[in-house]
A and B are shown apart, each in its own frame.
Chain A
Amino acid sequence: MINLKLIFRVLGFLVLVEGLAMLLALLVSIIYKEDDLNAFFIISSGCIVLGLAVVFFTRKSSKKIGKREGFTIVSLVWIVFSIFGSLPYMINGYIPDFTNAFFETMSGFTTTGSSILRDIEALPHGILFWRSISQWLGGMGIIVLSLAVLPIFGIGGMQLYAAEVPGPAPDKISPKIKQTAKMLWGIYLILTVSEAILLWVGGMSFFDSICHSFTTMATGGFSTKQASIAHWDSPFIHYVIIIFMFLAGTNFSLTFSALNGKFIRVFKDEEFKYYISFIGIFTLIIFAGLLISQLYGVEKSFRDALFQVVSIITTTGYVTADYLLWHPFLTILIFSLFFFGGSAGSTGGGIKIMRIVILLKNSYYELKRMIHPHAVIPVRFNNHSVDSKIVTNVLAFFILYFLIFIVGSVIFTIMEPDMPSAMGAVATCLGNIGPGLGNVGPVENFYHIAPAGKWFLSGLMLLGRLELLTVLVLFSPSFWKE
């Protein structure tokens, strides 16, 4: 039934890709002449050799990737990537034990951004670069990258693409998947380079601006500084990052339209309207709250409110202010944003705006249906009625999401006996955000969590990144039956 040889072959190719990506980090450590050079040299060459060997030995496997293989490959690749990706941290003792290194890497590839590091600035540049690039690769998707560059994905690409980009509207912007993947990565690259230049102009060092543009565009949130973006006290840098976080949380096919001059399409898009409205409303309330509590000046209140709202709603997770110090009303507002997420087809995680809107509309129409029991009231989105299958899928997703959040929090309190911290940690990992509440808040880190808790959270990150169903389907009995 399930074609193991083929799965190994594809994974072999992907390990090869990871090895090549590590060469970039190797390049950085060569430039800075630091002691992480040997680690990157050994591991990237190891990955390349292993990848080539696996590809060579499985060359006779069939090429047709079915649904089962698709789901398995996509779920496994994040785990395999995290295992190999954690080796550079371990080899020179920057993160000596495997649990922490794996957590950090999984947090990287899933673009969560939760960290166990207590002194980020002490790390060599190569390691910092690897942290950032792991987020960048994970942001647009490892499979999507491979679709664009590896011919092996020719036939089964569809299944992989659907499994990795599961959202309610996997918009293709070109008839061919390969072309779509190339365009998406093209836009991603353009935005990343633009941001890096702007940050550099704004006064960040060249290295920091590249690392931060990687992690912004991926809505990742790893910073090269312990204090995250708060390290820079420059409004310009803050606003640039806000803009690019916003773009990263926007549907990339809309960005594509905008780059082609079709602005009307962008502003007509319903999800985009809601995305802006949610950001606007939350920013205004928090801005007002901060003004009333008189913590900062007017401009800084506005900037901090906007930054935190955009950072959390797009699931980036950068911080410029510790929202735990704010009035609990504002903190709980921020926490509620943990359950929004970016737009469908963006690099953002979470539940996603489109699902929220469909759910809200469906619930509202349910009221209408009570009064007019015979009325035919479809859920409309972007002026088209949404297929009832999609509505069911969204409902199932939402229920599973909250079930996992609640059960996860209950389980997690065993390891972390503090309710806000437990809930914050579970919500932040499931939503691929980064900072949580309590002792995993924006200025804290995840170092003190028990090893079992770290593995648990790593699992949640993977679940969240692949939007639950892709991973959960592997555990359903019907998946394994003939």
Chain B
Amino acid sequence: MKVVIAGAGEVGTHLAKMLSKEDHDIVLMDDNPDKLASISSEVDLLTITGSAHSFEDLKETGLAKADLFIAVTPYEERNVLACSMAKFLGVERTIARINNSEYLQERYRIKLDRMGINELIYPESLAAKEIVASIKQTGTRQLIEFSNGKLLLLGVKIRENAPILNKTLAELSYIDEGILAVAINRGGETIIPHGKDYILNGDIVFFITTRASQQKVFELTGKKQFGIKNIMIIGGSRIAQKTIEKLGDQYRIKVIENDRECCEKLADRFKNALIINGDGRNLELLKEEGLENMDAFIAVTGNSETNILGCHLAKSLGVKRSIAEVENLAFMDTAENMDIGSIINKKLIAASYIYRFTLNAEIANVKCLTASEAEVFEFIVKPNAKITEKQIKDLDLPEETKIGGYIRGEQGYVADGSTQIEAGDRVAVFTLPSGIKKLEKFFK
């Protein structure tokens, strides 16, 4: 597949790296040659210096023969315009990154589609969704729902009090058939585990389960569910705004924002939140505003360091749930080991969201597991796909992938070796990046 990416920012470069590893032809364009120079010496792709909204420069990228155009420059209007121009020049499909939820509304979709913008991506909104999901589901690092919760993915940090500590996966499946560990993040490395692998202290284990067995996961991992009422958010960024919007009225929300004007805007917009003008790094202020009494702490300032420090402080004061936005990819690993709760990165979220458009098989959902390389795909099984031929244990699936579960009709099931996948099932599969291509074959 030939993919043209406009904008060599963090989303653009991350996507380019991800896609070029998989034999796609990538053309990356940016108007700043310095940004291109560093990536072109690392990754096998073609770089073109040029502006995303110039017909001449776009033509230069060979758009007419491309399958996908992704506009991820920092400017919304440029992305929209670039997509429209790219469509005019003959590209198959376009994706624009936007910063405005208005465009996402269903009634404008057709209009935008007519302008040549096929898909929209709003990273802040996606990030807010993740934040809200993890606020609503306490005890876990990550929660992904498949088909409206018929199947669940829970990422849980294993600590010393977990009953399943030092047990193998085979033993786990004895205890409850409705739970399957599908990925383990251990010391910055991701493992797709098999029956003989142990669960160790400090692992982040990703379980696939159904609503019925969900409670069992918390028991086995020694996690207590707790209600959340008081939430403190530092930073009034767009992610914060989207989060407040999605959280709704059942929480008591405090927002700390440094910029006076921004505070006034927030106060005007959100009746359900108390807006405080102050520096999120000011310890006294945080304590004064009752940080100790908070159930959740969300740090989404534009500064990753502030967010990490804020969450660290919150954790040490006993806040049970903390979420930090870490945009600096280099920090991600370190941050994960610092005991600061969940970490979100809107670029990674955006990149995996876009990623599914490059796959041939029919895909309902792609998510990247936080702080790990593994990705989870929700495939819709087509008739005559290779996966329907045999039972899972006889399929000869690649080492680095694992089938977690499947949804048949209205019911979700956790998979085991003797499961037979049928056409029309929605299958949740976990894989390391190296397994994606191999996996695709099974679903074609």
Name the A residues within 8 Å of B46 (CB-CB): 172, 174-175
B386 an interface residue at 8 Å Cβ cutoff?
Answer: no
A350 an interface residue at 8 Å Cβ cutoff?
Answer: no
Name the A residues within 8 Å of B27 (CB-CB): 175
- A157 and B45 alpha carbons, distance in the complex (Å): 12
Name the B residues within 8 Å of A174 (CB-CB): 25, 46
- A42 and B41 alpha carbons, distance in the complex (Å): 41
Interface residues on A, range: 10 to 19
Q: Can you name 9 A-B pairs with beta carbons within 8 Å? A: A157-B44, A158-B41, A158-B42, A162-B41, A174-B25, A174-B46, A175-B20, A175-B46, A179-B25
A177 an interface residue at 8 Å Cβ cutoff?
Answer: yes
A368 an interface residue at 8 Å Cβ cutoff?
Answer: no
Name the B residues within 8 Å of A172 (CB-CB): 46
Question: By the criterion CB–CB under 8 Å, are B45 and A175 in contact?
Answer: yes
What mask results when residues 38 to 52 of chain A are scored 1 for a CB within 8 Å of chain B, else 0? 000000000000000
Question: By the criterion CB–CB under 8 Å, are A176 and B33 in contact?
Answer: no
Question: By the criterion CB–CB under 8 Å, are B26 and A175 in contact?
Answer: yes
- A417 and B33 alpha carbons, distance in the complex (Å): 51
What mask results when residues 349 to 365 of chain A are scored 1 for a CB within 8 Å of chain B, else 0? 00000000000000000
B244 to chain A, nearest CB (A): 42
Name the B residues within 8 Å of A119 (CB-CB): none
Name the B residues within 8 Å of A162 (CB-CB): 41
Choose one: B25, B26, B33; the contact of A387 (CB below 8 Å): B33
B129 an interface residue at 8 Å Cβ cutoff?
Answer: no
- A175 and B43 alpha carbons, distance in the complex (Å): 10
B2 an interface residue at 8 Å Cβ cutoff?
Answer: yes
Name the A residues within 8 Å of B42 (CB-CB): 158
Q: Which chain B residues in 24-48 approach chain A with CB under 8 Å?
A: 25-27, 33, 41-46
Question: By the criterion CB–CB under 8 Å, are A177 and B44 in contact?
Answer: yes
**Taking CB as reference atom, which chain B residue is nearest A157?**
B44
- A387 and B34 alpha carbons, distance in the complex (Å): 10
**Taking CB as reference atom, which chain A residue is nearest B25?**
A175
Q: Which chain A residues in 134-162 approach chain B with CB under 8 Å?
A: 157-158, 162
- A172 and B26 alpha carbons, distance in the complex (Å): 12
Name the B residues within 8 Å of A387 (CB-CB): 33
Interface residues on B, range: 10 to 19
- A175 and B25 alpha carbons, distance in the complex (Å): 5
Report A's interface with B, CB cutoff 8 A. 157-158, 162, 172, 174-177, 179, 387
Name the A residues within 8 Å of B43 (CB-CB): 158
Given A175-B2, A175-B26, A175-B27, verify A158-B44 contact (CB < 8 Å).
Answer: yes
Question: By the criterion CB–CB under 8 Å, are B41 and A176 in contact?
Answer: no
Q: Which chain B residues in 4-56 approach chain A with CB under 8 Å?
A: 20, 23, 25-27, 33, 41-46
B284 to chain A, nearest CB (A): 46
Name the B residues within 8 Å of A179 (CB-CB): 25
- A162 and B43 alpha carbons, distance in the complex (Å): 12
Q: Which chain B residues in 51-93 approach chain A with CB under 8 Å?
A: none
A311 to chain B, nearest CB (A): 34
B428 to chain A, nearest CB (A): 30
3 tightest A-B contacts by CB?
A175-B46, A175-B25, A177-B44
Name the B residues within 8 Å of A177 (CB-CB): 44
- A263 and B364 alpha carbons, distance in the complex (Å): 46
B280 to chain A, nearest CB (A): 41
A167 to chain B, nearest CB (A): 15
- A158 and B17 alpha carbons, distance in the complex (Å): 14
Name the B residues within 8 Å of A175 (CB-CB): 2, 20, 25-27, 44-46
Q: From A157, A162, A175, A387, name the one whose CB has the most chain B CB atoms within 10 angstroms.
A: A175
- A157 and B2 alpha carbons, distance in the complex (Å): 20
B70 to chain A, nearest CB (A): 14
A258 to chain B, nearest CB (A): 17
- A162 and B42 alpha carbons, distance in the complex (Å): 11
Name the A residues within 8 Å of B20 (CB-CB): 175
Name the A residues within 8 Å of B2 (CB-CB): 175
Q: From B27, B42, B44, name the one whose CB has the most chain A CB atoms within 10 angstroms.
A: B44
**Taking CB as reference atom, which chain A residue is nearest B45?**
A175
A146 to chain B, nearest CB (A): 15
Name the A residues within 8 Å of B45 (CB-CB): 175-176
- A14 and B23 alpha carbons, distance in the complex (Å): 24
Q: Apart from A172-B46, A174-B25, list 20 A-B contacts with CB within 8 A.
A: A157-B44, A158-B41, A158-B42, A158-B43, A158-B44, A162-B41, A174-B46, A175-B20, A175-B25, A175-B26, A175-B27, A175-B44, A175-B45, A175-B46, A176-B23, A176-B25, A176-B45, A177-B44, A179-B25, A387-B33
A422 to chain B, nearest CB (A): 40
B441 to chain A, nearest CB (A): 18
- A175 and B47 alpha carbons, distance in the complex (Å): 8
**Taking CB as reference atom, which chain A residue is nearest B24?**
A175
**Taking CB as reference atom, which chain A residue is nearest B4?**
A175
**Taking CB as reference atom, which chain B residue is nearest A155?**
B44
Name the A residues within 8 Å of B25 (CB-CB): 174-176, 179
A379 to chain B, nearest CB (A): 15
B62 to chain A, nearest CB (A): 9
- A387 and B44 alpha carbons, distance in the complex (Å): 22
- A157 and B20 alpha carbons, distance in the complex (Å): 13
What mask results when residues 331 to 352 of chain B are scored 1 for a CB within 8 Å of chain A, else 0? 0000000000000000000000
